[in-house]
Structure 1
Amino acid sequence: MSALKKEKKYTPEEYLALEEKAEYRSEYLDGYIFKMAGGTEAHITISFNAAKIFADKLRGKCRAYPSEMKVWVEKVGTFFYPDVTVVCGERKFYKGRRDIVENPILLIEVLSESTKEYDKNDKFLIYQNLESFQEYVLISQNQPAVQQYIRQTDGTWRYKATIGLNSEVTFESVETTISLSEIFDLVEFETEE
């Protein structure tokens, strides 16, 4: 993630106005705008698969959105584009805008080399400011592996990792089990020679 114009701070409204006209997507953090990098074929395929699987499995109960849906974290003044956003029950939209939600229960990020440490650490800490947020999922694009952080009743987070195409992962926040072979369908992993 690289700052677009570090010297100038923008209001949320200025960011949103710029974002509507921009040729690329960017995220907003503490008044600064950060250009997002493009995704690889594996990243795009995994994101699509996950959004479609959740949309199909949660139909009528929750809504799953692909990466075009922004998430607003009010306490930190941040707009992010998670790869998949799941909202259950009534949706709360930022100032009535139907492209920005404020109450996700589950967020998924497909890890990229350039942002994986940021996604695992800083972004996760920011997302924790959302009261509705119950589960954070990090999906590798280099191997069939899923990492989960699940909020406990005492406010702590439990870590769980699932590895291997023959494995299944249970998403506790939405009570749904999915095989890794579904998530990684059509993904070609690079093999070491």
Structure 2
Amino acid sequence: MAGGTEAHITISFNATKLFADRLRGKCRAYQSDMKVWVEEVGTYFYPDVTVVCGERRFHKGQRDIVENPILLVEVLSQSTKEYDKNDKFFTYQHIESFQEYVLISQNQPAVQQYIRQTDGGWKYKATIGLNSKVYFESVDATLSLQDIYDLVEFEEEIL
């Protein structure tokens, strides 16, 4: 998200780097400059982190627009959190390869996940606290919230 807060930028960077490091050789993690195409609505979005495993499919050969993400991350902002949680998630569900949606708070150490189930439904998981670890089923990787939130300064009253 262009114009994000320092916390938003730091969390996005940390998450991209952590996924890239953990998934080296089997998946690629992209920062927010990579667009994700949703054919059913005929437009693209800019998730904060996009993970693609296996062969990448680029929209009409444009190497900055992927069509087959497996995992998408949004760092929640006050101005867009409802849109990210609802409309954007609903739209992303049209992507056949899409298996996991991750929402990361920038105000407290908290990660929400929606994981696609074999019946087409979505399982919800929440992980809270800097000492916690979160497992990402779609890519078989575990990250610590301490690492995701490295160098993020929370306001005292929020903790």
The alignment's TM-score, normalised by the length of structure 2, stands at 0.97
Q: Which residue of 1 aligns with 2:141?
A: 176
What does the per-residue CA deviation read over 1:45-91, in whole Å, with 9 as the maximum and x for residues that have no partner?
00000000000110000000000000000111121000000000010
Percent identical across equivalent pairs? Answer: 82
What does the per-residue CA deviation read over 1:131-161, in whole Å, with 9 as the maximum and x for residues that have no partner?
0000000000000000000000000000000
CA RMSD of aligned residues (A): 1.1
Structure 1 residue corresponding to 2:104, chosen from 139, 142, 147 = 139
Structure 1 residue corresponding to 2:73, chosen from 105, 108, 112 = 108
Q: Which residue of 2 aligns with 1:150?
A: 115
- The total of aligned residue pairs comes to 158
Q: Give the gaps of 5 or more residues in structure 1.
A: 1-35
Highest RCO, 1 vs 2 (Cα 8 Å, sep ≥ 6): 2
**Mapping for residues 30-179 of structure 1, pairs under 5 Å:** 38-179=3-144
Give the CA deviation at 1:192.
Answer: 1.9
What does the per-residue CA deviation read over 1:75-116, in whole Å, with 9 as the maximum and x for residues that have no partner?
111210000000000100000011000000000000000000
For residues 37 and 97 of structure 1, what CA distance do their matches in structure 2 show?
21
For residues 138 and 171 of structure 1, what CA distance do their matches in structure 2 show?
12
For residues 169 and 80 of structure 1, what CA distance do their matches in structure 2 show?
25
Which amino acid counterpart does residue 126 of structure 1 have in structure 2? T
For residues 25 and 34 of structure 2, what CA distance do their matches in structure 1 show?
19
Which amino acid counterpart does residue 19 of structure 2 have in structure 1? F
For residues 2 and 31 of structure 2, what CA distance do their matches in structure 1 show?
16
Does 2:156 match 1:191? yes
For residues 74 and 43 of structure 2, what CA distance do their matches in structure 1 show?
16
Which amino acid counterpart does residue 139 of structure 2 have in structure 1? V
Give the CA deviation at 1:37.
Answer: 5.5
Higher Cα Rg, which structure: 1
Q: Which residue of 2 aligns with 1:22?
A: none
Which segments of structure 1 move beyond 2 Å, counting only runs of 4 or more?
none
Q: Give the gaps of 5 or more residues in structure 2.
A: none
